A and B are shown apart, each in its own frame.
Chain A
Amino acid sequence: MFELLGVPPQALFGQLLLGLINGAFYAMLSLGLAVIFGMLNVINFAHGAQYMMGAFTAWMLLNFLGVNYWAALILAPLLVGLFGILLERLFLRHLYHLDHLYGLLLTFGLALIIEGVFRKFYGSSGQPYSIPEELTGGHNLGFMFLPNYRAWVVAFSLVVCLAVWYLIERTKLGSYLRAATENPTLVQAFGINVPRMVMLTYGFGVGLAALAGVMAAPIYQVSPLMGANLIIVVFAVVVIGGMGSILGSIVTGFGLGVVEGFTKVFYPEASNTVIFVIMAIVLVLRPAGLFGRAQ
């Protein structure tokens, strides 16, 4: 920790901001996982692959159809979301009556297929995707140079996360959703088509992953394996936050991004293990997670 002295407080602000940016991706992904889990009781292992598909769809839209970033931001999540709905209808639907583990195994298999097919056609070294014209360049904040695009990522993902939270916790549609999670039979009896709601929820969660993918495309190389390792970290984020609340997954996502950011300054070698260490500690102290309800 003696290196703390070597790091001026201004640089720490910079790292705090960068941590928030990374946290934005964790938050968006863990939010999607939480939404899906809440409704389907399925841990969506294909979430990382669907995030990758979002980035690739944006890339394909640009290169094959000339569709720009802004349109892709809407189109790609829709397309990938539709693909998710297809997966739900074809496969996931048949597993709801079984142990939840089968859902995990099935989506694991789906992730292998999706990632393998993309690797076959695009190799693994990745495709470039440029930052949209409007957001190139950046501002010198005095303590750091903040690229405009990163500022956009933080702001936009915060808006998305809060909107999702509002939708689920504060609207009528959200209350149906929550009720259907608790007691599907009863909600069905009120004349609400629960299977369709489940299907749309999965599509929505997958769409969120794809949205994160589109946002990641200009920062990271668009490559078939971009989601494969990320998903494990996001799992840890989800375990730390607990599956109990939507807000919990947002807060944990951003928070852990910041923690990871600081680790990169003080002890960079541990920056990819720190989240797992925190997970172990949280499990020992609070097995249900920070925001989870005890079972």
Chain B
Amino acid sequence: MDRRLLPAIVLLGVALAAPFIVYPVFLMKVLCFALFACAFNLLIGYVGLVSFGHAAFFGGAAYITAYSVKVWGWPTEAGLLAGIAVAALLGLAFGAIAIRRQGIYFAMITLALSQMVFFFCLQAKFTGGEDGIQSIPRRPLFGVIDLKNELTLYYVVLAIVLSAFWLIYRTVHSPFGQVLKSIRENEPRAVSLGYRAEHYKLLAFVLSAALSGLAGSLKSVVFQLASLTDVQWQMSGEVILMTLVGGLGTIFGPVVGAVVVITMQNYLAPLGEWVLVIQGVIFVVVVLAFRRGIVGEISAWLSRLRA
């Protein structure tokens, strides 16, 4: 147990010290996407379902938080909760429809459904169409914590994201998580043992959607902006890429993947459209040669050393 905690403690130390060295806005972006990728990983790594529609939860929640905070004047924490709630509801609707099919069908169905949400956001009045919702005020959290200070905001985001990680960790290691794993490994057997597989899968889907929503909501608070980029299918592709690069089904993989992909986007931004090409190349290389991802390969290498 101690040994497994070690990387977590190191990471925590790095996270606490980081904003004094790196641009905090960039770090917060990494945190939001790390959470998004972990939420996504919950589904693919532990239920074996690949969703190509997670942008709908991420972007949908971003819009709800943005709108409730900016237009209705809700406090930030209420806005976040509203975002999570809407993402969970969307997840319930998506799940109820998509869970009937597995594998690639599931991917295609979630993609199509999220495209529907995209068109809704494009046409609906409240989202501001192409302009998105801009200049979202950073209202003090619980009325006391001033989020206008970027350093404070960073620690708040860090705290929220860490609690979400903890929640994911607990879920995976709970009896619920064990049932999910058994369904992934052998669904008919799990069913024969009396587990209602569909309910478990649906619940996992809703949880994953809600946490993706939290990530989207946080992003809208950090950037004071919710826009169509957040609901576009390319966003679903990006989160898959992060998870894949880091390592499917590993605890820290999605975090590493998010750091790598976001850093890459940041420093390669001057290259414009080549970024997409490079992402495509990474997809191909990872799928062909490093299917375990960075973390997966490292831990495989470590266990080979030990053996």
Q: Do chains A and B touch in the complex (CB under 8 A)?
A: yes
Verify A115–B276 contact, CB threshold 8 A: yes
A264 vs B261: C-alpha distance when bound (angstroms): 40
A43 vs B105: C-alpha distance when bound (angstroms): 9
In the complex, whether B268 has a CB less than 8 A from a CB of chain A is no
> In whole Å, how far is B17's beta carbon from the nearest beta carbon of chain A?
35
* Max chain B Cβ within 10 angstroms of own Cβ: one of A112, A113, A236: A112
- Which of A69-77, A101-109, A125-133, A136-144 lies at the binding interface? A101-109
B158 / chain A contacts, CB cutoff of 8 Å:
none
Given A106-B283, A280-B97, A283-B101, CB of A120 within 8 Å of CB of B277: yes
> In whole Å, how far is B270's beta carbon from the nearest beta carbon of chain A?
14
A236 / chain B contacts, CB cutoff of 8 Å:
108, 112, 115
* Max chain B Cβ within 10 angstroms of own Cβ: one of A94, A120, A235: A235
Verify A105–B276 contact, CB threshold 8 A: no
> In whole Å, how far is A285's beta carbon from the nearest beta carbon of chain B?
10
A115 / chain B contacts, CB cutoff of 8 Å:
276
Report which of B104, B281, B287 forms a contact with A100, defined as CB distance below 8 A: B104
Given A91-B288, A110-B280, CB of A232 within 8 Å of CB of B113: no
Q: How large is the interface on A (under 10, 10 to 19, 20 to 34, 35 or more residues)?
A: 35 or more
A95 / chain B contacts, CB cutoff of 8 Å:
287-288
B244 / chain A contacts, CB cutoff of 8 Å:
105
Given A113-B284, A232-B233, CB of A273 within 8 Å of CB of B104: no
B280 / chain A contacts, CB cutoff of 8 Å:
109-114, 116
Verify A101–B107 contact, CB threshold 8 A: yes
Decide if the interface of chain B is mainly helix, strand, loop or mixed. helix
Scan B106-122; emit 1 where CB is below 8 A from any A CB, else 0: 01110111011001100
Verify A272–B119 contact, CB threshold 8 A: yes
In the complex, whether B125 has a CB less than 8 A from a CB of chain A is no
B276 / chain A contacts, CB cutoff of 8 Å:
112, 115-116, 119
A62 vs B192: C-alpha distance when bound (angstroms): 62
A104 vs B288: C-alpha distance when bound (angstroms): 12
A279 / chain B contacts, CB cutoff of 8 Å:
109, 112
Scan B81-115; emit 1 where CB is below 8 A from any A CB, else 0: 00000000000000001101101110111011101
In the complex, whether A99 has a CB less than 8 A from a CB of chain B is yes
A184 vs B112: C-alpha distance when bound (angstroms): 32
> In whole Å, how far is B240's beta carbon from the nearest beta carbon of chain A?
7
Report which of B103, B109, B115, B284 forms a contact with A101, defined as CB distance below 8 A: B103
A235 / chain B contacts, CB cutoff of 8 Å:
108, 111-112
Verify B281–A113 contact, CB threshold 8 A: yes
Verify B104–A104 contact, CB threshold 8 A: yes
A-B contacts besides A112-B276, A113-B284, A239-B101, 9 pairs, CB < 8 Å? A99-B103, A101-B104, A105-B283, A120-B277, A232-B233, A236-B112, A239-B112, A273-B119, A280-B116
Q: List 23 A-B contacts (CB under 8 A).
A: A43-B104, A43-B108, A100-B103, A106-B284, A109-B280, A109-B282, A110-B284, A112-B237, A113-B281, A116-B274, A116-B276, A117-B277, A120-B273, A232-B115, A236-B112, A239-B109, A239-B112, A273-B116, A276-B116, A279-B112, A280-B97, A280-B113, A283-B97
Q: Please give the residue numbers on chain B whose beta carbons come within 8 Å of chain A beta carbons, in ascending order.
A: 50, 97-98, 100-101, 103-105, 107-109, 111-113, 115-116, 119-120, 123, 233, 237, 240, 244, 273-274, 276-277, 279-284, 287-288, 291
